[in-house]
Amino acid sequence: MSVFQRLKGFRDFLPKEQRARREVFDTIESVLQQYGFREIDLPALESLDLYMVKSGEELVEQTYSFQDKGGRDVTMTPEQTPSRARILANRKDLSTPVKWYSTSKRWRYESPQKDRLREFYQTDIDIFGADSVQADAEILAVTVDIMEALDVLDAVEVLVNDRRLLEGILATHDVEDTEPVMQVIDDREKMDAGTFREELQEAGLDQEQAENVDELTEIRGPLTETFDTIQDVAPDGDDAEDAIARLEELRDALEAYGIADQVVFDLSIVRGLAYYTGLVFEVFDTEGELRAVCGGGRYDELVDLFGGKQTPAIGLAIGDAVLEELMRREDVWPAEALQTDVYVLPVSEDVRTEVLELVRELRSTGLIVETDLSGRNVGSQFDYADTINAKQVIVVGKRDLENDVLTIKDMATGEEEQVPVGDVTRYVTDRLQ
Amino acid sequence: MSVFQRLKGFRDFLPKEQRARREVFDTIESVLQQYGFREIDLPALESLDLYMVKSGEELVEQTYSFQDKGGRDVTMTPEQTPSRARILANRKDLSTPVKWYSTSKRWRYESPQKDRLREFYQTDIDIFGADSVQADAEILAVTVDIMEALDVLDAVEVLVNDRRLLEGILATHDVEDTEPVMQVIDDREKMDAGTFREELQEAGLDQEQAENVDELTEIRGPLTETFDTIQDVAPDGDDAEDAIARLEELRDALEAYGIADQVVFDLSIVRGLAYYTGLVFEVFDTEGELRAVCGGGRYDELVDLFGGKQTPAIGLAIGDAVLEELMRREDVWPAEALQTDVYVLPVSEDVRTEVLELVRELRSTGLIVETDLSGRNVGSQFDYADTINAKQVIVVGKRDLENDVLTIKDMATGEEEQVPVGDVTRYVTDRLQ
């Protein structure tokens, strides 16, 4: 063992693992591209004050924040929303809606655990400048399509809520401290109805409010089936009424997208209340074993904080760690195997020229081709061809060249074929299609 | 303007710019993949001591190095070789040759200038565990192929040297301080032959050495044409002889790859002498305006320093900044335009369901499709469709649906066509092929 170790909470991805990860990222991005989301790429390091606008002092302790050589307080970006808000505030020329995504590294100074890393990837997707239910529906539709493209749609539930329903209940009487109420709602599944109501009252609700919350949390199912009931028990007030109107329009849009059955209403989805202004959603595995696979919501007032004009926004974030856990559990994580089309095997040094010419020709057709770089014997070269998972091995000996015929071995079947030198490229490309 | 600004030396890439950059990175990576180079992904943050092995104290001042919340001295990686060496030292199970690449962000605390950024991308390519000339040739071949794939091969020269030739000259007598000699050689083009020899003697060479260096630096041209002359004037000594033998074998391999004319011998290529142990190379624009586009060389003794077993290595690094300058100058930088296949335009809110169904169907064929998210009128929607560079716009009105015929506008020609609703998807996909 070397004296040098990787930092805890950080990961190395060597070729086999990286190939699988690349496939997952590519799948996510190709769905996003079909929706007209556009890739952006923003700095990994930003001024600390930009990132404190949203998160305040606690950010400093939970991030890699430091003073650079020039005395600037900077932070390795733990998320990307403040950077996006910075751009929106400075670039008045962007035509809306702005539909951005990026998959990039994020850093948080957390206690490293299995699914709490200090360096991780996150795909962030936002629509800025559209406050419509159509934008909400598009974010949910792309979420569902990504889950489907990753082959985990059957293993997850997309849970939605509108935080204003809960706010409406709390607003009917003055609940001073909403945090304990949220906590009780978050723990709903651990209690029976009686205990739940008691706990809500202990947390500061009166009896009527507690009943109202209980009724709403009882409703859980596809938005198509539950909407009428939600409407019946929704609290009064303009905001709650708007929430109901939007949920209805959302239901219709999701039906048109053909995904209404996949979207489940659940009042216990209360992520980051201070931040979100309307729809919130999270995707959970149906077995309830993992943290949220992804989530997001509408945050119409955030960009404002950064000095920009009021800009409605809805976003979605997908981290890599929980997603990988889920895909491995569901046995749909891509194969962690190298991909090589052809290995060209020189039997001796005196055939190098012909081998390199052949390698060059094969690569020019787009194939993945390797050859010996170490002067190894035939047996070692076959071992290496195995290691890199080569599909075909072309054996090139001096005698073969004299006879104008090369041996091509199919590594899956073990079958060998004699092929005239001039036909080798066509033979191999035919086999690999 | 917002109060929040980006840090100096950092860049934002919005969708149009990012699309071009993505195309460039994809081109580079697809060439690397054909050669059997495999993508890896390593931490952005590492222990400072790992990165000081190679670069020493000066590293601290030139990097984003800091103490994390746990008191560890860490650095945002300014390069990737030490991280790769760490892995090689810890993973004895890797079968060689290891052929790795990655395109990732790097950070250096430099004075920001046009082509000296504090955050930049670099593609690092290495072959570990093969000390053969075949490996050297493969690195040069992939370099040439990348330049060709990026359409800049005619605008650059690939300059090669073997640092042991120069060392051989200096070794024949004891030159104590080699640095001034390197500096003079580096400035060769600015002087006539007489001045050059004088400067070399001032830098510590005797008359014979100075003549020898002058003769070697006079040789400049494709390796195929210059090799015999290099051989004639090469200094004595085992290392120089080995250098000559390898240059000869390299010439033959480059000929087999069909790229011998693109590789030019140039003794003035003296990058990082302390680090490289044999072949060194750099790619310069032929007009001599820019810094090196990319470069690399053999460093057989470096991995050793990190506690691993002796591991021969040859590497290549391509930064994004100079490459972009060159490609822009040569007018081969990809178009910075958004790509959208279809915009589906609802004339009024009462056609939303049909529009979303159509959008969904079109996206399922793999097309990039957007629709209105803001309830805009027809004119504004056409403006937006222009902004996102939509190729086709499908207009969906209530009356159109009743008549079962939609209008499809080709945005390039302005031509409009009436198409039965059921034929729309096929019509559009046919047009876009």
Question: Could you give the angle at the alpha carbon of A172 between the alpha carbons of A167 and A177, nearest 5°?
Answer: 60
Question: Which of B356, B361, B396 to mutate to probe the A interface, most A CBs <10 Å?
Answer: B356
User: Using a CB-CB distance cutoff of 8 angstroms, which residues of chain B are in contact with residue A144?
Assistant: none
Which of B36, B40, B109 has the CB atom closest to A68's CB atom? Answer: B109
Q: Pick from A45, A134, A352: which is nearest to B119 by CB?
A: A45
- Best A41, A61, A300, A340 residue to mutate vs chain B (most B CBs within 10 Å): A41
Does A1 contact B338 at a Cβ distance shorter than 8 Å?
no
Nearest Cα residue in chain B from A68: B64
The CATH number for B340-432, chosen from 2.40.50.1070, 3.20.20.140, 3.40.190.10, 3.40.50.800, is: 3.40.50.800
Q: In what order do the strands lie in the sheet with B369-371?
A: B369-371, B340-346, B390-396, B405-410, B416-420
DSSP structural state of residue B74: E
Query: Is residue B106 very low, low, confident or very high in pLDDT (cuts 50, 70, 90)?
Result: very high
pLDDT at A391: 98
Q: Is B18 helix (H, G, I), strand (E, B) or coil?
A: helix
- Whole-model pTM: value is 0.95
**What pLDDT was estimated at residue A163?**
87
- The span from the CA of B243 to the CA of B174, in Å, is 20
Model confidence over B309-338: pLDDT tens digits?
889 999 999 999 999 999 999 999 999 999
Considering only CB atoms, B7 lies closest to which of A4, A46, A375, namely A46
For B138, name the nearest residue in chain A, comparing CA atoms only: A373
Helices A15-34 and A320-329: angle between axes, nearest 10 degrees: 100
Per mean pLDDT, which of A270-279, B74-83, B198-207 is the most reliable?
B74-83
Query: Does B46 contact A340 at a Cβ distance shorter than 8 Å?
Result: no
Roughly how many angstroms between the first and final C-alpha of chain A, as a whole number? 43
- Predicted confidence at residue B113, as pLDDT, reads 66
With an 8 Å Cβ cutoff, are A19 and B38 in contact?
yes
Summarize pLDDT for A299-347 with one digit per residue, the tens.
998 888 888 788 999 999 999 999 999 999 999 999 999 999 999 999 9
Residues in A touching B255 (Cβ below 8 Å):
353
**Predicted confidence band at B208 (pLDDT cuts at 50, 70, 90)?**
confident
- B212-230, pLDDT tens digit by residue? 888 888 888 999 999 999 9
**Average pLDDT of chain A to the nearest whole number:** 92
pLDDT of residue A2: 59
- State residue A112's pLDDT score: 67
**What's the whole-number average pLDDT of chain B?**
92
Tens-place pLDDT, residues B111-147: 766 657 999 999 999 999 999 999 999 999 999 999 9
The reported pLDDT for the residue numbered B114 is 62
Residue type, A113: Q
Rounded CA Rg of chain A:
28
Task: Determine the residue type at A233.
Answer: V
Confidence at residue B83, expressed as pLDDT on a 0 to 100 scale: 96
The pLDDT assigned to B217 comes to 84
Q: Where in chain A is the domain with CATH 3.30.930.10?
A: 15-329
Check: CB of residue A283 under 8 Å from CB of residue A296: no
Of B35, B36, B374, the CB nearest to A132: B374
Which range among A15-19, B70-74, B90-94, B279-283 shows the weakest confidence by mean pLDDT?
A: B90-94
Q: Chain B closest CA to A220's CA: distance in Å?
A: 25
Task: Tell me which of A19, A45, A86, A138 to substitute to probe the interface with B (most B C-beta atoms closer than 10 Å).
Answer: A45
pLDDT at B235: 86
pLDDT at B112: 67
Residue A53, helix vs strand vs coil: helix
Return the closest-CA partner of residue A279 out of A163, A158, A140, A159: A163
pLDDT, position B283? 97
Mapped onto helix, strand or coil, the DSSP state of residue B7 is coil
Between chains, do B86 and A6 touch, taking CB under 8 Å as contact?
A: yes
Look up tokens 């919501």; give the residue. Answer: A297
> What residue type is assigned to position A31 of the chain?
V
Alpha-carbon span B242 to A173, nearest angstrom? 88
Summarised one tens digit per residue, pLDDT across range A163-211 is 888 888 777 767 777 778 888 887 887 888 889 999 999 988 888 888 8
Q: How much is the average pLDDT of A234-245?
A: 91
The residue among B4, B25, B31, B341 with the most chain A CBs within 10 A of its CB, best to mutate, is B4
Domain at B15-329: CATH architecture: 2-Layer Sandwich (3.30)
**A-chain residues near B93 (CB < 8 A):** none
Q: Give the pLDDT confidence score for residue B115 in this predicted structure.
A: 57
Q: Which residue of A has its CA nearest to B68?
A: A64
Residues B13-18 have a mean pLDDT of: 98
Return residue ranges of chain A for CATH 3.40.50.800.
340-432
pLDDT tens across A23-38, in order? 999 999 999 999 999 9
Residue closest to A32 by CA, chosen among A152, A143, A122: A143
Cβ separation of A363 and B34 shorter than 8 Å? Answer: yes
A233 pLDDT higher than 70: yes
Q: Do B100 and A340 touch (CB under 8 A)?
A: no
pLDDT of residue A113: 66
Q: Tell me the pLDDT tens digit for each residue of B241-287.
A: 999 999 999 999 999 999 998 999 998 888 766 778 999 999 999 99
CB spacing of B369 vs A35 below 8 angstroms:
yes
**Contact at CB, B105 and A46, closer than 8 angstroms:** no
Cβ–Cβ of A353/B96 closer than 8 Å?
A: no
Q: How far is B241 from chain A (nearest CA, A)?
A: 21
Whether B389 shows a pLDDT value over 90: the answer reads yes
Scan for tokens 């069909």, then name that residue: B258
